[in-house]
Chains A and B, each alone.
Chain A
Amino acid sequence: MAVLARVFGDIDIAEDAVQDAFAEAARRWPRSGQPPSPAGWIITTARNRAIDRLRREAARTGKHAQAALLHADEQPGEEAGPVDDDRLRLMFTCCHPALGRAAQVALTLRLLGGLTTAEIAHAFLVPEPTMAQRLVRAKAKIRDAGIPYRVPAEADLPGRLTGVLAVVYLIFNEGYTASSGDQLARADLCTEAIRLGRLLARLMPDEPEVTGLLALMLLTESRRTARTGPDGALVLLAGQDRTRWDRSLIAEGQSLVRQCLRRGRPGPYQIQAAISAVHSDAPVAAATGWDQILTLYDQLLAVAPSPVAALNRAVAVAEVDGPAAALALVDGLPAASLDRYYLFHAIRADLLRRLGRRAEADAAYRAALARSGNAAERAHLALAK
């Protein structure tokens, strides 16, 4: 897809061509066997099919088809060429700041992930025609406004990369919000986000925040099965059965954390991954290195202050200085921006319970439950606005 989008300078043409090529493969391969390089075969076939189709259209009317043909002629025709570079270019195109966040997410999943429009719509709880419309509009803007297929210049890279990482992490979090919606569709989003994270980490090995994000997602994913109880209720970190954590994901995540922190260019994803890695080190909750975690949260708030980070820091404070100190911090946070966040209420509830303030704790638990029930819908609303 990414190669063809570059060759033709048009995502729709590339998508049609790839579909043609797969249809051809489905007809031919069962009889003649799979070619030595299936990906190369698909790209070559798709390219030829698209050129045939464009020639037909160009002969009839389409100036647009002529333009795309010209574009294809200017591009080097290397079939087994640097596919990875094209993917990276497409990633920056999909996450271009001139596109809204919801469009960035949809385009990234459609063009770089392996999801169909129906699957994306399902995962984000929007009707399929709405998602299809969103994709059509975004692709039209890329074409008409001239959003380039290009990795940004060095000077713009940090800012643009932040946008790409935010999209990948948003996809991951949307999948990880296991409070409602179709569990399977949501697990797909985590898988896609990690795949995109791996791709980015391979393509941009010199960007420690890229590695940091991948590590953070792997370490978070390692706890997926442990974070819901048998009744489907959310189990907070302290209550999780740590034997159910995925050891191989933890090992990979921790190794990546060490690898990126060695570069001495810390950023929010690396620090969050490091915090997660400290949790992963503890065989039981009581053995958690809370002092270390608190130090890391102080660093996180220094590089990327946010109410959510301050809330999470308060959890570490509860372990180091006790629940009373933590509750004072939590109640000092801007409630207006956190009220709709179920963890704000869940954390308050836990602190109140530990202080023996049963009635207030119950109220806070109820508030948390009321908000986690439609977390996916709210996340979608935040996306769509």
Chain B
Amino acid sequence: MKQYLLSIYQPDGDPPAPEVLEPIMRDISAVDQAMRDAGAWVFTGGLHAPDTATVLRAADGDVLVTDGPYAEGKEHVGGFWIIRAADLDEALAWARRATVACTLPVEVRPMVDMAEG
């Protein structure tokens, strides 16, 4: 079994109005539950807005701390799943349901299997 990171890319700015967001969140929960029922679910998380981020970087024996996200863009990762799947086709099938539910692009990245090195 491989693991895949499914990242939800969401546009910067205010979230949609509650009446828009509410059915979307319900659909996302349904996908999340289906993943758990199928034994594919490993972890999931939603993230606060990128301006809540802090970046640290080691430089010259010191650590520099800056306010804000590492990459400034028009979109940011708003949430993610880590799932377990036999192969990419299985992962893509979950991602397909995920993108339909959240109405946003979903990126599928294979995770390095630490056991395989």
Contact = CB atoms under 8 A, between A and B. Distances in A.
Interface of A: 63-64, 67, 96, 98, 144-148, 150, 152, 156
B116 A146 contact: no
A42 to B, nearest CB: 28
B22 interface: no
Contact of A63 (B85, B108, B117): B117
Interface stretch (B12-20, B28-36, B45-53, B87-95): B87-95
Interface in B66-117: 85-89, 91-92, 108, 110, 112, 115-117
Nearest to A64: B116
A150 B117 contact: no
Given A64-B116, A145-B108, A146-B86, 19 more contacts: A63-B115, A63-B117, A98-B88, A98-B92, A144-B110, A144-B112, A145-B88, A146-B88, A146-B91, A146-B110, A147-B87, A147-B88, A147-B89, A148-B87, A148-B88, A148-B89, A150-B89, A152-B89, A156-B89
25 contacts: A63-B115, A63-B116, A63-B117, A64-B117, A96-B88, A98-B88, A98-B92, A144-B110, A144-B112, A145-B108, A145-B110, A146-B2, A146-B85, A146-B87, A146-B88, A146-B91, A146-B110, A147-B87, A147-B88, A147-B89, A148-B88, A150-B87, A150-B89, A152-B89, A156-B89
Contacts of A148: 86-89
Nearest to B3: A146
Contacts, number: 32
A355 to B, nearest CB: 49
Contacts of A147: 87-89
Contacts of B86: 146, 148
Contacts of B85: 146
A144 B87 CA distance: 10
B24 to A, nearest CB: 26
Contacts of A145: 88, 108, 110
Contacts of B117: 63-64
Nearest to A96: B88
B116 A67 contact: yes
Contacts of B92: 98
A98 B91 CA distance: 11
Nearest to A143: B110
Question: Which 6 residue pairs spanning A and B have beta carbons closest together?
Answer: A148-B87, A63-B117, A146-B87, A145-B110, A146-B88, A146-B2
B8 to A, nearest CB: 18
Contacts of A63: 115-117
A11 B84 CA distance: 24
Nearest to B112: A144
Of the listed residues B87, B88, B91, B92, the one surrounded by the most CB atoms of chain A closer than 10 A to its CB is: B88
A146 B90 CA distance: 10
B87 to A, nearest CB: 4
A23 B3 CA distance: 39
A163 to B, nearest CB: 13
A98 B95 CA distance: 12
Contacts of A96: 88
Contacts of B108: 145
A98 to B, nearest CB: 6
A98 B87 CA distance: 12
B1 to A, nearest CB: 10
Contacts of A156: 89
Contacts of B110: 144-146
A161 B111 CA distance: 28
A156 B92 CA distance: 12
B41 to A, nearest CB: 18
B113 to A, nearest CB: 9
Contacts of A64: 116-117
Nearest to B114: A63
